[in-house]
């Protein structure tokens, strides 16, 4: 391969500079090198919309490289076949597709309406744990409805196990080494599975499968038949945590923007005033009417995509933009820089929810938006996430003005490992009169 086909490299773009400030280096790479650049030999960054979308869509050539949240506990039958994976995916999507979410807005809304009551007013409160608890209640209820109270404590432990595993460590252990963090994850996964198994069996033997996401997964599919108990128990730990882990990172960014932009928060509050007094009566029509709130959520996700860097591995020698990529190379897809490209979004660093609305207040032609990924591995829970976040944002702004603690320095850290998050963010809520 000729050297001129290699993506450009920053002079000092080494892993050392990368570990000091990954966001800043990602931006410099995009500004100075363009569409695709090289962090070090065999590690490339797709920095703008075209190459990002190409990598995510060409899933055979660029394979997902991160391990599953919760690998199957043990399998007598070996790793799931492509057919089994497609079956489990179809079963999950029955419960997560936009129409399924739209039909259950009245079950999501009460949890969002309770959120402001859980927020102690008049004091600085750490936001991330607060939103995580609220979203875990909503998400776990969405998956298991009346069985949610049994499973919620186990779901919180699953989250904790993930958090421990994601702490940056000096050593990268091979996947088969049973480190204390991995053993803790396995114990929590076993505990969750043991609590879930009798629920699955009870629902199947009684024939009352339920209208929730678990119920949808228990329905036979016309194409694949019944999903096995083993496949259900393997897939649900990851899905359960996914309902609140990334959404809570997104929610804390959104609440920070409500504090930074009181006028925008006022506009959200005005929309929220039109929601029904009984949250259970909320429908998808009400949700659709929260146009500005949805635009605000989308704008925060554009500026701060929680999954800001997606990892892929090239399965064969291939082309990306004008460059040759060797088999085995790592390709990092960067929604963060793709979203801050002025060719896609005017004044890309400005917070401007209106960019997602046209003058009549309806959705405008979108620029690139990769916060939920795209292609075969795009986010399965995007509709659920948007519904939860829109309602939570509306209910918070309806009740409160939010503000940051006074002081020259932000009291939180922006972390980039395991998702873009505001760790330690504290906000104060005061009643909106
Ligand atoms: C703001 C909230 C969320 C964001 C920003 C987000 C983002 C993403 C992104 C970027 C991907 C693609 C990862 C990749 O291509 O490597 C993804 C995948 C996924 N998401 Fe989400 N997500 C969110 C909420 C949710 C929720 C609520 C669920 C609920 C179940 C969920 C379930 C999943 C699943 C199962 C996948 C894996 C799809 C696959 O590998 O085929 N996500 N998410």
pLDDT band (50, 70, 90) for residue 2: very low
Most confident listed range (167-171, 218-222, 263-267):
263-267
pLDDT band (50, 70, 90) for residue 220: very high
Asked if residue 402 has its Cβ within 6 Å of ligand 1, the reply is no
Asked if residue 381 has its Cβ within 6 Å of ligand 1, the reply is yes
Q: How far is CA 398 from the centre of its chain?
A: 25
Q: How high is the pLDDT of residue 171?
A: 67
Strand partners, 333: 46, 310
* d(C-alpha 52, C-alpha 45), whole Å: 9
Q: What is the DSSP letter of 247?
A: H
Strand partners, 310: 333
Global pTM? Answer: 0.95
**Closest atom, ligand 1, to C-alpha of 378:** 12
> Taking a C-beta distance cutoff of 8 angstroms, is the pair 412, 259 a contact?
no
Report the candidate in 366, 364, 370 with the shortest Cα–Cα distance to residue 338.
370
> Taking a C-beta distance cutoff of 8 angstroms, is the pair 346, 355 a contact?
yes
Total residue count of the chain as it appears in this document: 433
Nearest CA to ligand 1 atom 41: 377
Helix and strand totals (H; E) in the chain: 17, 12
Over the stretch 97-131, which tens digit does the pLDDT of each residue have?
999 999 999 999 999 999 999 999 989 999 999 99
Ligand 1: residue of 55, 91, 381, 383 to mutate (most ligand atoms within 8 A of CB) is 381
Q: How high is the pLDDT of residue 323?
A: 95
**Closest atom, ligand 1, to C-alpha of 143:** 30
Asked if residue 307 has its Cβ within 6 Å of ligand 1, the reply is yes
Nearest CA to ligand 1 atom 7: 372
**Closest atom, ligand 1, to C-alpha of 89:** 41
CA angle 252, 258, 260 (to 5 degrees): 105
Over the stretch 221-249, which tens digit does the pLDDT of each residue have?
988 999 999 999 999 999 999 999 999 99
**Residue 166 scores a pLDDT above 80:** no
Asked if residue 310 has its Cβ within 6 Å of ligand 1, the reply is yes
Query: Taking the CB of residue 15, how many other CB atoms lie within 10 A of it?
Result: 11
Asked if residue 336 has its Cβ within 6 Å of ligand 1, the reply is no
One DSSP character per residue, 210-221 reads: -SSHHHHHHSPB
Nearest CA to ligand 1 atom 28: 381
Over the stretch 37-60, which tens digit does the pLDDT of each residue have?
999 899 999 999 999 999 999 999
Asked if residue 244 has its Cβ within 6 Å of ligand 1, the reply is no
Report the candidate in 356, 364, 373, 350 with the shortest Cα–Cα distance to residue 297.
356
Cα–Cα distance list, 37 to 29, 45, 304, 369, 429 (Å): 7, 5, 21, 21, 43
* d(C-alpha 230, C-alpha 52), whole Å: 35
* d(C-alpha 353, C-alpha 267), whole Å: 11
Report the candidate in 58, 56, 48, 1 with the shortest Cα–Cα distance to residue 26.
48
Residue 240 CA, ligand 1 centroid: distance in Å: 12
Q: How high is the pLDDT of residue 85?
A: 86
> What tokens does 84 get?
């089994």
One DSSP character per residue, 29-78 reads: HHHHH-SEEEEETTEEEE-SHHHHHHHHH-TTTEEE-SPPSS--S--TT-
Residue 235 CA, ligand 1 centroid: distance in Å: 14
């Amino acid at each position: 391969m000729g050297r001129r086909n290699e993506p450009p490299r920053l002079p000092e773009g080494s892993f050392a500079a990368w570990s000091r400030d990954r966001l800043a280096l990602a931006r410099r790479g995009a500004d100075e090198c363009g569409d695709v650049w090289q962090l070090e030999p065999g590690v490339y960054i797709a920095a703008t919309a075209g190459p990002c979308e190409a990598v995510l869509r060409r899933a055979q050539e660029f394979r997902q490289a991160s391990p599953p949240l919760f690998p199957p506990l043990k399998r007598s039958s070996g790793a799931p076949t492509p057919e089994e994976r497609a079956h489990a995916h179809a079963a999950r999507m029955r419960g997560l597709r936009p129409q399924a979410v739209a039909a259950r807005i009245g079950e999501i809304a009460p949890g969002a309406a309770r959120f402001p009551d859980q927020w102690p007013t008049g004091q600085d409160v750490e936001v991330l744990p607060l939103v995580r608890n609220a979203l875990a209640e909503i998400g776990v209820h969405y998956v298991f409805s009346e069985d949610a109270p049994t499973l919620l404590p186990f779901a919180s432990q699953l989250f904790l196990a993930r958090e421990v595993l994601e702490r940056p460590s000096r050593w990268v252990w091979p996947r088969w080494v049973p480190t204390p963090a991995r053993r803790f994850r396995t114990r929590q996964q076993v505990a969750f599975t043991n609590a879930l198994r009798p629920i699955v069996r009870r629902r199947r033997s009684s024939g009352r499968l339920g209208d929730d996401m678990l119920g949808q997964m228990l329905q036979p599919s016309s194409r694949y038949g019944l999903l096995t108990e083993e496949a259900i128990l393997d897939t649900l730990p990851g899905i359960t945590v996914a309902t609140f882990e990334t959404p809570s990172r997104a929610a804390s960014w959104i609440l920070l923007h409500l504090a930074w932009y009181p006028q925008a928060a006022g506009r959200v509050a005005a929309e929220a005033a039109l929601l029904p007094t009984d949250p259970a009566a909320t429908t998808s029509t009400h949700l659709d009417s929260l146009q500005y709130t949805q635009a605000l959520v989308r704008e925060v996700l554009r500026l701060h995509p929680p999954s800001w860097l997606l990892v892929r591995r090239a399965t064969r020698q291939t082309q990306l933009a004008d460059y040759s990529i060797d088999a085995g190379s790592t390709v990092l897809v960067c929604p963060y820089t793709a979203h801050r490209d002025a060719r896609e979004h005017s004044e890309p660093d400005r917070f401007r929810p209106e960019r997602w609305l046209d003058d009549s207040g309806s959705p405008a032609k979108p620029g690139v938006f990769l916060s939920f990924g795209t292609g075969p591995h795009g986010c399965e829970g995007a509709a659920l996430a948007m519904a939860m976040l829109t309602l939570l944002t509306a209910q918070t702004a309806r009740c409160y003005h939010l503000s940051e603690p006074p002081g020259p320095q932000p009291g939180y850290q922006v972390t980039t490992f395991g998702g873009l998050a505001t760790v330690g963010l504290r906000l104060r809520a005061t009643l909106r009169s």
